[in-house]
Amino acid sequence: MAQALGITQDAATITRCFSCHATGVKRGLHPDGPDLSAMLPGVSCERCHGPGASHAANPSRVNIVVRSGTSAKDSVQFCAECHRGPGSVDLAEPASIRYQPVGLSASRCFAVSGRLSCLTCHDAHANASLEGESYTARCLGCHAEGGRVIAACGRATRQDCVPCHMKKQSSFPFLTFTDHRIRVYR
């Protein structure tokens, strides 16, 4: 019967889970875990942008706090606060596919471009698109012209890049993730 209640977690695990899956979690203020008195379930604006009282009182883009930094690397590190980043998971582990910033940071596209970030392809204010065309357009923003093209590559005909360069993989039963380590698979 007790199993139906779930697995008992320690304070550090509770804090780590709620810090990403809720808004308004105050860390370290309670001996048994986070202070959840102001918590809102789910991810809202303040989870990423910080306190929004001034924006709510006078809505304008000017008073919106952007915490992600200005560089692509800063942006990926910001997303990695919840999606895990380089150094937190070994890239050789099959489970690392679950953590998109780990793969993206290991991609040649990320290293060479200096501007590729999570926000290049994803709108942080919307669910991830399941349509390949939107991602292909972003790939072609850098890869439209020039470079060595392998005969089988559909770049010239604007075919969907994702199935060939960001394969879906499953390292857990019933869970499939898109590999964000952009590359040519051998």
Assigned token pair, 56? 């709510």
Q: pLDDT digits over 35-70, tens only? A: 888 888 888 888 888 777 777 777 766 555 555 567
Q: What percent of the chain has pLDDT over 70?
A: 85
- Phi/psi of residue 55, nearest 5 degrees: -70, -40
- pLDDT in the model for residue 38: 85
> Are residue 38 and residue 84 in the same domain, yes or no?
no
Strand, coil or helix: what is 65?
coil
152 vs 129, which has greater pLDDT? Answer: 129
> Are residue 49 and residue 78 in the same domain, yes or no?
no
User: What's the rounded mean pLDDT across residues 17-41?
Assistant: 81
> Are residue 81 and residue 121 in the same domain, yes or no?
yes
Q: Beta-strand (E) ranges in the chain?
A: 22-23, 26-30, 33-35, 40-41, 168-172, 175-178
> Are residue 107 and residue 137 in the same domain, yes or no?
yes
- pLDDT in the model for residue 6: 79
- Phi/psi of residue 141, nearest 5 degrees: -60, -30
CA distance 165 to 154: 11
- pLDDT in the model for residue 61: 60
- Phi/psi of residue 77, nearest 5 degrees: -60, -40
> Are residue 85 and residue 47 in the same domain, yes or no?
no
Into how many domains does the chain fold? 2
Neighbours of 28 (CB within 10 A): 11
Contact 99, 88 (CB under 8 A): yes
45 vs 29, which has greater pLDDT? Answer: 45
pTM score of the predicted model: 0.78
- pLDDT in the model for residue 64: 57
**Does the residue 150 lie in any domain?**
no
Q: pLDDT digits over 67-109, tens only? A: 556 788 988 998 998 888 888 788 888 888 889 999 999 999 9
- pLDDT in the model for residue 117: 93
Report the amino acid identity of residue 14: I
> Are residue 38 and residue 124 in the same domain, yes or no?
no
- pLDDT in the model for residue 150: 64
β-strand partners of 168: 178
Buried b (16+ CB within 10 A) or exposed e, 42-74: eeeebbbeeeeeebeeeeeeeeeeeebeeebee
User: What's the rounded mean pLDDT across residues 7-28?
Assistant: 84
> Are residue 112 and residue 174 in the same domain, yes or no?
yes
Question: Could you tell me the residue range of the domain that residue 166 belongs to?
Answer: 72-141+155-178
**Does the residue 27 lie in any domain?**
yes
CA distance 9 to 20: 16
**Does the residue 167 lie in any domain?**
yes
**Does the residue 46 lie in any domain?**
yes
First to last CA, the chain: 49
